[in-house]
Amino acid sequence: MVAGFMGIKLFRAKKIQRAFMKNKILLSGLIIAGVLFSGCSSTTQSIAIPDISKPIPIDKSIIEIERTSSIVGGGRNPYLYSNDKLIGEIGNGGTLTWLTEGNQLECIRLEYNRLPLIVDPIIWDEKPIRYQCFTTKSGEIIKLELDFLGNRINKKSNEKESAKSIEITKISNISKSDTKHDTLALLKNAVTSELGNKLVTENADKSIELFIEEYQEGNAAKRWLAITKEGSTLLKVKVVIKKNNEIIDTYITRLAIVEGGLLSVGADILVFDYAGKDIASYLIGK
């Protein structure tokens, strides 16, 4: 009788334990899903926030960047750096604003916290980074928008000085990279495809000159093993924008495909398409 009673208690204990473990696994899944899809959306600025209601010093410029709201990935808050200075952590729908020098290139990059419960890959050497550079103008506010899902920073739609027509007057590869690809044709085709009917061959509203400053094919098999500079696919393009033969703006996009392994086969070609999207987005807001 006692043995039977103890057996019932043991059965119930195991049943409770299984239910607990099941709920624990479910809870863990919900925590991960919460981090991936919603999560905390707080924004924390690491440097002083300028008073935009006051006149901007003649030799300074203000940059304001707003992150678009998104359900997917909303819980991942990247740290934003500008010219290697930490500006802050930008959450879903958040805004960072800072004072900087006027008439200079401001290069902005993002660094991400790893998701909890996910082990970091082995990093053997310095990880190549993705960044974009924008030209500041003294006494003005530059308003930018972080498209988190597209991994792209654009000028805000209501701030774009969208060109009615654009002509490509020069494409040059100054990277001296050793590659089998026709990099000039790849870049031209990518930009042409993205600009669409905005691209003309004469009497353009604005003209652009494209310079490949860095290119590395990378190696998908090496990206499967670890994140290395040697295995990464890299492309850096500088865009010089002119109006009436005078330089009015300069933009730089630097792309880095560092992970993906065999799933990233073809990145050495695809990276030019990404550059084309960046450039067109900056020029015409695509």
Strand partners, 227: 123
Q: Which residue, 137, 135, 144, is CA-closest to 60?
A: 137
Model confidence band, residue 28 (pLDDT cutoffs 50, 70, 90) = very low
Instruction: Give Cα 70 to chain centroid, integer Å.
Output: 15
Please tell me which residue, 246 or 227, carries the higher pLDDT value.
246
- Gap between the terminal Cα atoms of the chain: 78
pLDDT of residue 262: 77
Which pTM value belongs to this model? 0.80
User: Strand runs (DSSP E) across the chain, as ranges?
Assistant: 44-45, 60-67, 79-82, 85-89, 95-101, 105-111, 131-135, 141-147, 152-155, 166-173, 206-216, 233-243, 246-257
Q: Which residue, 196, 206, 267, 202, is CA-closest to 232?
A: 267
pLDDT tens column, 114-134: 555 444 555 544 668 899 999
Question: What average pLDDT does this structure show over 39-57?
Answer: 88
Residues 6+ apart with CB under 8 A from 246: none
Joined together, the tokens standing for residue 99 give 């004072």
Task: Please state, in angstroms and rounded to a whole number, the distance separating the CA atoms of residues 176 and 212.
Answer: 9
Q: Which residue, 48, 51, 214, is CA-closest to 131?
A: 214
Strand partners, 248: none
Joined together, the tokens standing for residue 4 give 């039977």
Question: What average pLDDT does this structure show over 241-270?
Answer: 92
Question: What single letter denotes the amino acid at residue 284?
Answer: I
Q: To 10 degrees, the CA torsion angle through 71, 271, 124, 46?
A: -50
